[in-house]
Amino acid sequence: MAGPPGDPPEGAPEGVPGGGEDEYRSVVFDESFVRAARIQEYSARERLDGTSRAVRVRHMWPVAGAPRQALILVVLIAVAFGTAIYLGIRHPYSSSGPEAVEPLRITVIPLVPPGPVPAVNVKSLYANDPAAHYRAGAEGLPLPTARRVGDFTESQVMQALSSTKEYLVASALDPEAVTGGGVRAVRDLIDPGQVDQFDRSLSAPGDDGQHAATGWLVRLDPAKVRLADQKVRVNGTITVSQVGDDRLEVVADHTFVYAVQGVTGSGAAPGATSLFTVRREMRFRFDRDDLRDHHLEVVQADVAAGPLSCTAPAADYFRPLLAGQSPQGPATADPYDRDRPAASVCAGLANGATGTPAAPFATSSAAP
């Protein structure tokens, strides 16, 4: 046989120096290589026993040890997962919780008229009245030009002003909220730290300087009055400044004028219309979280409203004296009565602040 053993009959392939034997010199089939092979040929006895396959696949680790290693792998995954959850909850840089927000301070002063409330002409409700030049609805709440204030950018100041106007519209101009309806739009704007105080003010109002519903919004008793004109007249100012290092303060000082009529059983002259006036000085504050989340903090509400009677409660609803009605007693305050807050007082309503009387109406014919 020509050629060295292992060569093909026709000799070594061309182009391979020294024959094909040198081609496999770099491959060493030592004992460790053979032992690590994934495929192992069955022995002669195993083949005689009827094994259908000529080879068997060798596992990476002994089968007997597989459950133990799988268990270890599961434990490691569980530990890693638990660690990730723990670090997510107890992140060293996370905030300790929402910052405490000071409660709203409320002062509501009923304004008592000097005599019977006059009716106004339905066709010219505000003629010859101080509210004659007031704008109607949201048009009466123009915003000042937004400029950078201290550490707050122009866009942040604009956000604070827009939130303030939105609150004023929802709390004093929305007919549904004003007449005892839904107040969701007001509640959604309030900082989460004040929501509990707001909810308690509506569910259990009190004349304690913090929980009068009429401090948060203008609220007329639907069992006594209704709006004769859906377009409330309003006029006032809005100013903005920086308080401390990280808060904006917006002060909204407005007078709202409502045309109202009594409902059946209210004791007012049927069809007679009168004016109800509310002055609100509201103080709002915004931190950077409020600006980001479209919230505001209502920190102070000073409200004077009339014509009202000193004897009528004003914490839950305003119950205006209607056309032809007179107050029960003068505006008084007892300095010896410490059961009521010092801010819970009445004041006299100036002459002419209830509108110009309609000529055909006689107030003496109405029930007091």
Cβ neighbours of residue 330 closer than 8 Å, sequence gap 6 or more: 112, 310, 348
Report d(CA 136, CA 173) in Å as an integer.
9
Report d(CA 228, CA 126) in Å as an integer.
12
* Joined tokens for residue 347: 């004041």
Taken in order 175, 176, 181, 183, the sign of the CA dihedral is negative
Residue-by-residue pLDDT tens, the chain, 368 positions: 444 555 555 555 555 555 555 555 555 556 665 566 555 566 666 666 665 555 555 555 454 555 777 778 778 888 887 777 766 655 444 444 456 788 999 999 999 998 899 999 888 888 877 898 999 999 999 999 999 999 899 999 999 999 999 999 999 999 999 999 999 999 999 999 999 999 999 999 998 899 999 999 999 999 999 999 999 999 999 999 999 888 999 999 999 999 999 988 777 777 899 999 999 999 999 999 999 999 999 999 999 999 999 888 899 999 999 998 988 877 777 788 887 777 778 888 887 777 655 444 333 333 32
Report d(CA 159, CA 151) in Å as an integer.
14
Count CB atoms within 10 A of the CB of residue 163.
19
In the prediction, which pLDDT does 38 show? 55
DSSP result, 180-219: T---HHHHHHB-GGGHHHHHHHHHS--SSSS--HHHHS--
Amino acid identity for residue 109 in this structure: I
Report d(CA 74, CA 34) in Å as an integer.
32
In the prediction, which pLDDT does 179 show? 95
> Of 216, 199, 170, nearest to 315 (Cα)?
216
292 φ/ψ angles, rounded to the nearest 5 degrees: -70, -40
Cβ neighbours of residue 29 closer than 8 Å, sequence gap 6 or more: none
